[in-house]
Structure 1
Amino acid sequence: MSTIYDVAKEAGCAPSSVSKFITKHGYVSNKLGNKITAAMAKLDYHYNGLARNLSTKTNNRIGVIVPFLDHPYFQGLVNAIILEASKISKEVVILPTAYNANREQQYLQELEHNMVSSLIITSHSLPYTKIYPYQRFGKIVFCENSNHQQTRCVFNNRKEIFEKLFTTLKQKEITNFGFMFIRNPQDSKTTKETFEAFKKIFNHYPQPERIIYNCRTAEDGKNGYLKLKRTIPNLQIVLSESDISAAGAYQARGNSDTLIIGQGNQLVSKLLRFTSIDQHLDETGILALKLATEATSTMKEKVNFDIIWR
């Protein structure tokens, strides 16, 4: 396997000149650059960019920790981050976890070893106390309010907007709820804040029999709705964590007048015309990338959710 020294010998220059040409750090004349290019082609030389990152402590890669990509929320958020990163010539590395704590730990170690320059954490299972220490190795941005003064995060008004939603429904005497979520409130801030908002308006948490967990897909939504319908007499409303699972519930309800509410304000909710919570994922992704890449004193950015009534 050819080395940088072989290329330098073939091109008739110093190894440092080859290094400057490859890394674009320092001046190399066009004439010498052409010689180095020819030497690299002749020797089939390919430099190890990862090794260079490790030796210079710099790289251009942003890691995005995401549980899965078959959910509209994470699809939209990751897509927004990628589009914004392309504008500033940053490489985005998707790091899927399926909420596996060991895998999350491995990705944090990639930050420690400079495999990525910063991390955007869209959702996680590791406790904050396990993540915070890694901030000394690079910027970590949470897509939720971490409640830690020295942590970067993009947070939202989820609890406030759900209090508004539940208040409006209560005023309309729509109070017989069913819920479909991915994770339980012990593991998910989304679920926890939704149920806290519900308790504030109705003075109690939803009963367990009114909640379906592990609900991600349209098929999950369909099956979840049917189970709720069997369990809850005169079911008035089903609140789902995404428009996709809400669309499954919408399909399953048939001619029933059960109100379906999703989250994401995706095309499917617009076409089927059911109410949805707009999470403004484009704005969230842009702000998360800004906190991960720019030299700014700002530590927290707020994004406001909106209720799109249909």
Structure 2
Amino acid sequence: MANIREIARLAGVSVSTVSRVLNHHPYVSPDKREAVLKTIRELDYSPNINAVHLSRGKTNMVGIVLPTINHPYFSELLEGIAEEAMKHNIQLVLFQTGYHQEKEFEALEQLRGHLIDGVIFASRAIPFDSLLKYKSAGPMVLCEDSDQDDFPSISIKHVAAFNLGLEYLISKGHKRIAICLGRLEGTNSQKRQKAYEEKMKMIGQKVQEEWILGKCLMIQDGKSVVNRFLQMKEKPTAFLVGNDQVAAGIFTESVKQGLAVPEDVAILSFDNHPISEIMGITTIEIPTKQLGSYAFNSFIKRSSDSTYAEKIALPFTLIQRQSV
């Protein structure tokens, strides 16, 4: 198999000239560059990518850890990351985890083994203490409303956003409010739940345990929410839902069960994806694609400055429609 020494001999140039051509350095005369490229074509030569990465000390690849790509929030977040990565000629390696910790650790081990240059966590299941053990392995970015100072993080202020939703429902006459979240143990969900419990205490409304619903991520989960709602002895008059997909499922199943929205049950959600506009669901808009862009650029900054750990909070907006 051809190597750069043979290319240099046949092209009549030095090994360093061949190396500069392969690495796209500008300081090579046109005739020598053409001689090297002609020899490469004749030998059908392709560089050993692992050797190239080893010599450069980087792979130009970054890992993206997310539970699923089959969800508009994560796909839009990924789109924002991908657009920025393309500008920097960096490839993305997806780790679709389903919130299984062992899959998340695979990404961290690849970072430690220098198989990728960094990791962006769109969402995570592994404890924060476990992340700290990999802090020296390479750049990491968290897409969560984080109180730590070890890694860059990008999110909205979930407590403020959830309070905005609660206050809007209360202003419309609702006190018996249920919440639908994804993983109740997740960082963002815990902040939302705490904000909810404090707001209910503030207005003198006793919180029913069955009004706090977890594992609500996909549109089909909305059907389960309505079935549980129909079995409740003390029913809430409104749902504050963690994302538009679940809200759409609640809306559709409510109508199917003969319930009127918002007369029998009001619905307010998060994201402002197209489905919420089509169905007239009141929602709090999150700039998800922008969040992905900021996450990637935070990775770039962390790559050049290992102390960079800025917490970026993006804005959110209440979009009033007909479901409240």
Q: Give the alignment's TM-score, normalised by structure 2.
A: 0.85
Are the equivalent residues in 2 in contact too, given 1:210–1:232 (CA < 8 A)? no
User: Any residues of structure 2 matched to 1:117-136 within 5 Å, and which?
Assistant: 117-136=117-136
How many angstroms does 1:217 deviate by?
2.1
Letter paired with 1:12? G
Alignment of 1:172-187 (within 5 A): 172-184=172-184, 186=185
Partner residue, 2:248: 247
Q: After TM superposition, which residue ranges in structure 1, 4 or more long, deviate above 4 angstroms?
A: 295-298
Partner SS state of residue 105, structure 1: helix
Q: Is the contact made by 1:54 and 1:113 (CA closer than 8 Å) also made in structure 2?
A: no
Number of the residue aligned with 2:225: 224
**1:198/1:288 CA distance change after superposition, 3 Å:** same
CA–CA distance in structure 2, aligned partners of residues 211 and 299 of structure 1: 32
Report which stretch shifted further, 86-95 or 113-122. 86-95
Deviations 1:46-80 (A, max 9, x none): 11223311232134223222111112221111111
Task: Determine the structure 1 residue equivalent to 2:294.
Answer: 287
Do the aligned partners of residues 8 and 207 (structure 1) sit closer, same or farther apart at CA in structure 2, a change above 3 Å counting? farther
Between the aligned partners of 2:47 and 2:244, the Cα distance in structure 1 is 46
Unaligned runs of 5+ in 1: none
Separation (CA, whole Å) in 2 of partners of 1:6 and 1:104: 43
* SS state at 1:218 partner: coil
Return 242-251 or 52-61, whichever deviates more.
Answer: 52-61
2:313 maps to 302
The farther-off stretch of 200-209 and 211-220 is 200-209
Which of 187, 190, 196 is equivalent to 1:189?
187
**Paired residue type of 1:45:** Y
Aligned match of 2:72: 72
Cα distance in structure 1, aligned partners of 2:235 and 2:135:
50
Identity of aligned residues (%): 24
Match status 1:268 vs 2:275: yes
Alpha-carbon shift at residue 158 of structure 1 (Å): 0.9
Q: Does the 8 Å CA contact 2:145/2:187 hold for their aligned counterparts?
A: no
CA distance in 2 between counterparts of 1:180 and 1:106 reads 30
Distance 2:189 2:235 in 1: 24
Q: Note if 1:259 corresponds to 2:266.
A: yes
* Aligned-residue offset at 1:298: 6.1
Cα distance in 1 for residues equivalent to 2:206 and 2:315: 24
Which structure 2 segments of 5+ residues have no match? none
Contact 1:72–1:264 (Cα < 8 Å) also in 2: no
Task: Show the counterpart of 1:106.
Answer: 106
Q: 1:6-41 CA distances to partner (integer Å, 9 max, x unpaired)? A: 333332333332222111246332222222222222
Structure 1 residues 252 and 12: CA distance shift in structure 2, 3 A: same
What is the rounded CA distance, in whole Å, between the counterparts of 1:69 and 1:50 in structure 2? 28
CA distance in 2, matches of 1:154, 1:108: 19
* CA–CA distance in structure 2, aligned partners of residues 124 and 158 of structure 1: 16
Contact kept? 2:182, 2:242, Cα under 8 Å: yes
Q: How much does 1:44 deviate?
A: 2.1
CA offsets per residue over residues 144-184 of structure 1, 9 Å max, x none?
Answer: 23322232111321111212322332343312333333212
247-256 or 213-222: which moved more?
213-222
* Structure 1 position 206, deviation (Å): 4.6
State the 1:270 CA deviation.
0.9
For 1:169 and 1:240, the matched residues in 2 are separated by 12
- TM-score w.r.t. the length of structure 1 is 0.89
- The aligned residue for residue 215 of structure 1 is 216
State the AA in 2 paired with 1:21: V
Quote the offset at 1:266 in angstroms: 0.6
Residue 278 (structure 1) aligns with: 285
The number of residue pairs the alignment matches comes to: 308
Q: What is the letter of the counterpart of residue 285 of structure 2? A: D
Give the C-alpha shift of residue 106 in structure 1: 1.6
Deviations 1:211-232 (A, max 9, x none): 4433322222123222222335
Tell me how far apart the structure 2 counterparts of residues 212 and 232 of structure 1 sit (CA, whole Å): 15
